Every structure is written in C-alpha cells, then in structure tokens.
Amino acid sequence: MSSKTKDMLLQNKKVAIIGGGPGGLTLARLLQLKGADVKVYERDKSREVRVQGATLDLHFESGLRALEEAGLMDAFRANYRPDADRLRIMDEHASIFFDEHSKTAKGDFGDEWFRPEIDRGPLRNMLLDSLLPDTVVWDSHIVSLKRHGDTWEIIFQNGNMVIADVIIGADGAKSKIRPFVTPIKPFYSGVTVLEGNIYDAEKNAKKINTVLQGGKIMALGDSKTISVSAKGDGSLDFYAGWNADVNWLTDSGIDFKNNKQVLEWFKKEYVNWDSIWLELFEAENTIFVPRPQYCMPLDQHWDAQPNITLIGDAAHLMPPYAGEGVNMAMLDALQLSQSLTSENFTDIRSAIAHYERQMFARFADIGRETLDNTEFMHSPDGLKKLMVMFGQHLE
C-alpha cells in the first residue's frame, strides 16, 4: 500500500484527521497510499452507527476524480445506484415540468456531466474498507486541543489523549478544529431547512414513493422548496426549505420531536401546496431535524500555519443547493494529499499554503454559485429559473 519516498514531508510524522466523513476518510486513504502514518478520530461510537442524509451525487472533476486517485473506482461501480440520479422537477401542485425518467440514457463513467449517486452508508463503508486496520479510532469526541512546541495534544471525551505532528480538521459545520486555524465565522444564508427520513417509503409514503421512482424530486413553489431522494434501503430522505429569520428556530416555539406540531406547522407554512406532500409529514416515527443554512464568507482567507489545516465543511461550509458539499470535501482531500506528499515543497507550512490557495479560489466560485442557487430557488420565480438552468445544460 505504500510508495513512501525518502524525503517525504510526512516522514516520521503522525497525522491526525479529526472527523470520519467522506472527506476525512478519502484523505486518509490517499495519504496511506503514499506511506503516511495516519489516524482518523471519529466521534461515532462505531461504524455500525446509522448514517443519515440524502444520497450523494459525485462529480467528474472532484468526487470521482478523488476516488480514481484513491484506486477505488471499481469499488464505487459496485456500490453506486444506477438511475438514482434521475430527477423530476415539480411545482407545489405536484405537476411535473421536467422528467429524466423518460430519457433512455443519462450518460456513463467518463462523461463530464455524468453524476452517479451513492448512499452515504455504502460510500463510508467502501472508504473504511480501503484503510489499514485500526486507522479509524471510534468514540473519539474531541474536547480540547493544545499546542506543544511543534506538536499537538488532543484530548477526547472518553479520557484518551494523543500527540500528533499534523492536524487536519475534517469535522464539519461545528468544527472544533477551525477556531485554531481562523476566527472567521459563517453567516446565515436566509434559508432554513427541515430534514426528515421515512423508512419503508413504499408503505409509509406510497404516493410520493410512486412519483419518486427510485430517483430524486425537486419541487419549487411559493418561494419554498421540497427535495426528496430515494435510498437503497427502501427509505427516502426529504428536505423542506423556506426563507426564515435567523432567530426563527428559537422564536417558532415548535417542538420538533412532536410530529403533530411539525405537521400543523407544515400545513400553515406550505398552505398552497398539494396534499400529496403531507405524506412526508404524516408518516409515523419520522425524526425531524431543523437546519438553518449557514455559509462561510466567500472571500475568507488566512495565513497558513505550520501543521494544521481544514477540509470540507470545516473549511468552507455552505448550503446544499449546488450539490457540491461532498465533492468539494473529496477534492480538498485530493489536493491536500498531493501537496503534503509532493517533492516541490521544503516544509509542511508551504505545502498547506499551496493547498489552501486552491481551496480559497474554488470556494469563492462554488460558494457564489451555491448562494445564487439558494436565493433563486426560494424566490417567486424559482421554478422558472431552475427550468432555464436545466434547459441550458440540456442544450
């Protein structure tokens, strides 16, 4: 598995990746292929913890490129879900305006616009299985980080303590590592999302499941959105998005563990929407998670440090309305691994600086696209603008 070079920057260095999401695990795989000594510290109790979240579409120039470099494309082909990327665009009345199910083919690997879907669980298992034994240290919820000379002391909630030479924060939106890199904080996008998951969708959301057909739905109307994704286990994930004040979550008074309260809120907030959408909120045992959508400043910048940096949401949190989150994280992993194992840099700080310059530039562009999408999709002309956007792609 190793192709270690004699003068590699990470020679005799212990690398600690904080967070075992797709970005962190991809980085660990890529660094191990170069012979680096890597540990991933993940707060989940074990790999069996249920992985929530919608399916992920991987892009040619980022997520798929990282998997190619990691030697995992065969594993990906064995785990992805063909046709799960087929989309139906609808309005609030459940009328279908754009339907990819009617197309005979949607492209294949090697096509720039082919964006195959994979569930989070299979993607994580695929990445975990690619790592050396005991690379991931489970039940590692970080509580403090202290610098000791050229190293870092990491203390976890379970009482464990480790020393690392290099720290990479891959720990998401509420990163414990980010404050050690920069004081820059995210801003509220103006949109809040309510996430839910319905098990056995064929039984518990029959009408929506029939329309979904194993693919994806994006419904827009009345300056609101509902997106739905089928999953390989027969469940579906959905996200309702609307414009809300930054304090809406606390001011609303809604107990999101009380499904009847959530249903009544939906009936009022989405009053003009067809009754078919009620299925998403009437199903029993649905766990609702409200998520105000934040974004890092598009012009964020900081001076590179000698042995600590960030990837993924910890580096450039943004709303989900461009499908770039996981792809950005995996491309971060690829570019950081290339920098840290390159012979072009004399020290780790300069390697980190090179990676961060690329990351800043990418985020400035993709973050702007994401914010633009977030705004127009939750505007009165959201459906019209989305159709124009898809028309341009199809042409």
Could you report the per-residue pLDDT of 3-17, keeping only the tens digit for each?
444 458 999 999 999
Residue type, 253: G
pTM: 0.94
pLDDT digits (tens, 9 = 90+) for 38-94: 999 999 999 888 766 678 999 999 999 999 999 999 999 999 999 898 999 999 999
- In this structure, the answer to whether residues 191 and 260 fall within a common structural domain is yes
| Alpha carbons 373 and 366: distance in angstroms, whole number | 10
- Contact 172/316 with Cβ under 8 angstroms? no
Burial class for 347, CB neighbours closer than 10 Å (0-12, 13-18, 19+): exposed
Q: Does 57 carry a binding-site annotation? A: yes
Show which of 266, 295, 324 is a domain's final residue: 295
**Domain coverage including residue 260:** 187-295
pLDDT of residue 106: 64
With respect to residue 95, please indicate whether it lies within any of the assigned structural domains: no
- In this structure, the answer to whether residues 127 and 19 fall within a common structural domain is yes
Question: The CATH number of the domain where 201 resides is what?
Answer: 3.30.9.30
Overall number of domains in the chain: 2
The long-range contacts involving 272-277, CB below 8 angstroms and separated by at least 24 positions, are 272/92, 272/221, 272/222, 273/92, 273/93, 273/221, 273/222, 273/224, 273/226, 274/92, 274/93, 274/94, 276/94, 276/207, 276/208, 276/211, 277/92, 277/94, 277/208, 277/219, 277/226
- Contact 36/59 with Cβ under 8 angstroms? no
Buried b or exposed e, range 249-266, using 16+ CB within 10 angstroms: eeebebebeebeebbebb
- Rounded to an integer, the average pLDDT of 365-393 is 91
- In this structure, the answer to whether residues 66 and 215 fall within a common structural domain is no
pLDDT digits (tens, 9 = 90+) for 294-350: 999 999 999 999 999 999 999 999 999 888 899 999 999 999 999 999 999 999 999
pLDDT digits (tens, 9 = 90+) for 179-237: 999 999 999 999 999 999 999 999 999 999 999 999 999 999 999 999 999 999 999 99
Q: Does 313 carry a binding-site annotation? A: yes
| pLDDT exceeds 90 at position 105 | no
Distance linking the first and last C-alpha atoms of the chain: 44
Residue position matching structure tokens 């939906």:
266
